[in-house]
Amino acid sequence: MNWTAIRAIYVFEMARFFRTIMQSLISPVLSTSLYFVVFGAAIGSRIDQVEGVSYGAFIVPGLIMLSVMTQAISNASFGIYFPKFIGTIYELLSAPISFLEIVMGYVGAAATKAMFIGVIILITAFFFVDIDIQHPLAMIAFLILTCLSFALFGFIIGIWAGNFEQLQLVPLLIVTPLVFLGGSFYSISMLPPVWQVISKFNPVVYLISGFRWSFFGTADVPIGISLLAIAAFTGICLAAIWWIFRTGWRIRD
């Protein structure tokens, strides 16, 4: 294993993040604060507790997930798409590194950035609402797994994308709706029965539910199923990446 190369990619990618540290941090902090003001304070004050938790606190896990998933995808997809776009991918392809090492470098960096933002949002949340995290270890584990799996997913999008529009397409058309409909701002039990059934096909429901369980000990779906769902999603992404690199799809002529 060429650890030096993995580290080189990781450091190079993180440098991009720190070059634009203000944008990287201010934007998620600002948007989260707005969510708290609008949903937590303005609307939340008219909503009773949800599953025994005040509405302001209830939306915290969903908000963190929303940012973490979109950040992991956008960072990882941009990270690998940009070298393709400007042509510097030649260097990755001609270096004595395996595809696994390339993935570890890019996905590792994208997951770290997403994790960083997730933690910042959690800290921001403490300024607005009282939160008591019941299962901190499970919370961290869920956060790490989500960051990693969505960074893997983002990496696939970055490899697939042929232009900047396509790069935005999947996050905008698929991920954002899935996250919004995945119970970020409500409990699935609040939906009409038909939509409850439909929601079961949304993989994000399981992630948000599991993450919320680590905060409040209550969940829409059993925690074991949540874990299974995230494991399955990670497995599918890994299999797709393995196939991409075995065939050189969209990378190597």
Partner 1 sequence: MPPILKISNLRKSYDGGFEALKGVSLEIEEGEIIALLGPNGAGKTTLISTVCGITTATAGSVTVGGHDIQTEYREARSMIGLVPQEIALEPFEKVINTVRFSRGLFGKSSKDEKLEQILRQLSLWDKKDSQIRELSGGMKRRVLIAKALAHEPRVLFLDEPTAGVDVELRKDMWDIVAGLKSDGVTIVLTTHYIEEAEAIADRIGVIAKGELLLVEDKAKLMARMGKKQLHVQLTEPIDALPASLKSEHVTLSEDGAELIYTYDTRGERTGITKLLAQVANEGLTLRDVVTRQSSLEDIFVDLVHEDKEAAA
Please give the residue ranges that form the binding site for partner 1 (CB under 8 A): 2, 4-5, 7-9, 11-12, 15-16, 19, 82, 86-88, 90-97, 248, 252-253
Beta carbon of residue 83, minimum distance to partner 1 (angstroms, whole number): 8
For the CB of residue 5, give the shortest distance to partner 1 in the complex, in Å: 5
Local structure of 53: helix, strand or coil: strand
Work out how close the CB of 75 gets to partner 1 at its nearest, in angstroms, rounded to a whole number: 16
- Cβ of residue 1: shortest distance to partner 1, in angstroms? 10
- Stated as kind and residue range, the H or E segment containing 209 is helix 203-216
Residue type, position 28, single letter: P
Nearer to partner 1, 40 or 158 (CB): 158
Of 14 and 227, which CB lies nearer to partner 1 in the complex structure?
14
Q: How far is the CB of 11 from partner 1 (least distance, A)?
A: 8
Specify burial of residue 238 (Cβ count, 10 A radius: 0-12, 13-18, 19+): middle
Q: Which of 129, 244 has the CB closer to partner 1? A: 244
Residues facing 50 on adjacent strands? 53
Structure tokens, 29: 């902090």
Owner of token pair 């989260």? 32
User: DSSP label at 39?
Assistant: I
Question: Based on CB atoms, which residue is closest to partner 1, 90 or 127?
Answer: 90
- Pick the closer one to partner 1 by CB: 32 or 77: 77
How big, in percent rounded to 5, are the helix, strand and coil portions of the chain?
Answer: 80, 0, 20
- Is 250 in contact with 166 (CB distance < 8 Å)? no
Surface-to-core class of residue 78, CB atoms within 10 Å of its CB (0-12 exposed, 13-18 middle, 19+ buried): buried
Query: Toward partner 1, which CB reaches closer, 79 or 182?
Result: 79
CB of 92 to partner 1, least distance (A): 7
Q: CA 110, CA 199: separation in Å to the nearest integer? A: 28
